[in-house]
């Protein structure tokens, strides 16, 4: 909280010309190599006529500093910050500067949960701000914290090895702070793909099983049955039903034409129905029979 108040004070203490100069794009990429070290990449695209120098407050250690298209030094006033200038003081129009450094000791661990806090300052009227935070390999967002990620409007993805969090902000006002707060924990077995995508994998597997079952049902439904697989009694009953075309056949007709007893016809019909070859439909006191399969000689 003390750092936050100091940072706000520093923001308001900057010159007015700086605070309200237009910044086109500001990207902050924090790639956590492990639980003790991270690589930070900063990118600024701005109007060089209005912004003569860039100040970027940063609350943690600044090591291995590299700059493209400009120069930076680490300064300490009320709070530590980077002071960066373009490669030439005579630049006009739109220009950019890229900054890279490493930082350490920015993670606080409580039991099994680690937390990382980064306060991203926005000192200018900025069109677009992108903040990316990559967790260390083998880590995932904590499920033991009510609000594990802040700001909450975040896009979370995985490259198969690391969890990546990305925030996008448009038309940011000057003298602003983006308070990035993330709680994470070890996966404790399994890969990140299993952690993030296991529900999706389950849905895909269920869909595949359903499609296979549906195809099998359609194929088996349309596949003709060879009459030779039926015994003599079953074949006679089937032939009587086939002789009536696609009409539903009264079971009493089968009894009369086959010469079998009612009990035997009932047994044969029950056997054929259990095998899915025919369908029996009760209508009042009558029992109507219809074929469910096509039959061929063989």
Q: How far is CA 269 from CA 37, 222, 233, 250, 297, in A?
A: 77, 21, 10, 12, 20
**Do residues 145 and 113 lie in contact, with contact meaning Cβ atoms separated by under 8 Å?**
yes
Whether residues 151 and 276 fall in one domain:
no
d(CA 298, CA 285): 36
DSSP helix/strand/coil, 82:
strand
141, 166, 189: which is the final residue of a domain?
Answer: 189
Q: Examine the domain organization and report whether 96 and 238 are in the same domain.
A: no
CATH number of the domain to which 283 belongs: 1.10.10.10
Give the number of other CB atoms < 10 A from CB of residue 113. 16
Domain membership flag for residue 29: yes
Burial class for 91, CB neighbours closer than 10 Å (0-12, 13-18, 19+):
middle
Q: What is the mean pLDDT of residues 199-226?
A: 69
Are 233 and 176 in a shared domain?
A: no
Name the band, by pLDDT with cuts 50, 70 and 90, for residue 219: low
**113 and 237 both lie in a single domain:** no
pLDDT tens string 238-265: 888 878 777 788 878 888 887 888 888 8
131 and 252 co-located in one domain:
no
Of 162, 189, 216, which residue constitutes the final position of a domain? 189
Residue 205 lies in a domain: no
What's the whole-model pTM score?
A: 0.56
| 3-state secondary structure at position 277 | coil
Average pLDDT score over residue span 132-157? 90
| CA pair distance 206, 68, nearest whole angstrom | 51
The pLDDT-based confidence of 73 (bands split at 50, 70, 90) is very high
What is the number of domains present in the chain? 2
Domain that holds residue 264: 225-296
218 in any annotated domain: no
**Same-domain pairing of 157 and 277:** no
Q: According to the 3-state scheme, what is the secondary structure of 134-165?
A: ECCCCEEECCCCCCCEECCCCEEEECCCCEEE
Q: What is the pLDDT of residues 94-141, one digit of tens each?
A: 999 999 999 988 888 888 888 998 899 999 899 999 999 999 998 999
């Amino acid at each position: 909280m003390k750092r936050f108040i100091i940072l706000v004070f520093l923001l308001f203490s900057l010159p007015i010309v700086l605070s309200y100069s237009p910044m086109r794009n500001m990207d902050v990429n924090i790639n956590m190599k492990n639980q003790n070290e991270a690589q930070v990449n900063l990118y600024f695209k701005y109007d060089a006529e209005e912004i003569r120098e860039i100040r970027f407050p940063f609350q943690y250690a600044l090591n291995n500093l590299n700059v493209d298209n400009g120069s930076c030094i680490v300064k300490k006033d009320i709070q530590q910050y980077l002071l960066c200038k373009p490669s030439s003081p005579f630049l006009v129009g739109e220009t950019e500067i890229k900054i890279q450094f490493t930082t350490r000791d920015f993670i606080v661990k409580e039991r099994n949960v680690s937390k990382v806090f980064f306060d991203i300052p926005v000192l200018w009227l900025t069109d677009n701000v992108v903040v990316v935070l990559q967790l260390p390999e083998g880590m995932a967002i904590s499920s033991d914290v009510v609000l594990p990620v802040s700001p909450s409007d975040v896009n979370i993805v995985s490259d198969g090895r690391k969890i990546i969090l990305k925030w996008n902000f448009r038309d940011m006002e000057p003298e602003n702070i983006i308070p990035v707060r993330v709680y994470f924990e070890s996966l404790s077995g399994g890969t990140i793909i299993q952690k993030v995508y296991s529900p999706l994998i389950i849905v895909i597997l269920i869909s595949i099983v359903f499609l296979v079952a549906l195809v099998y049902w359609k194929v088996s439904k349309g596949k003709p049955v060879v009459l030779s697989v039926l015994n003599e009694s079953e074949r006679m009953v089937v032939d009587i039903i086939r002789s009536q075309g696609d009409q539903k056949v009264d079971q009493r007709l089968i009894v009369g034409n086959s010469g079998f007893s009612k009990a035997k016809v009932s047994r044969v019909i029950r056997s054929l129905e259990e095998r899915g070859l025919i369908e029996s439909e009760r209508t009042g006191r009558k029992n109507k029979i219809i074929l469910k399969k096509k039959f061929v000689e063989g």
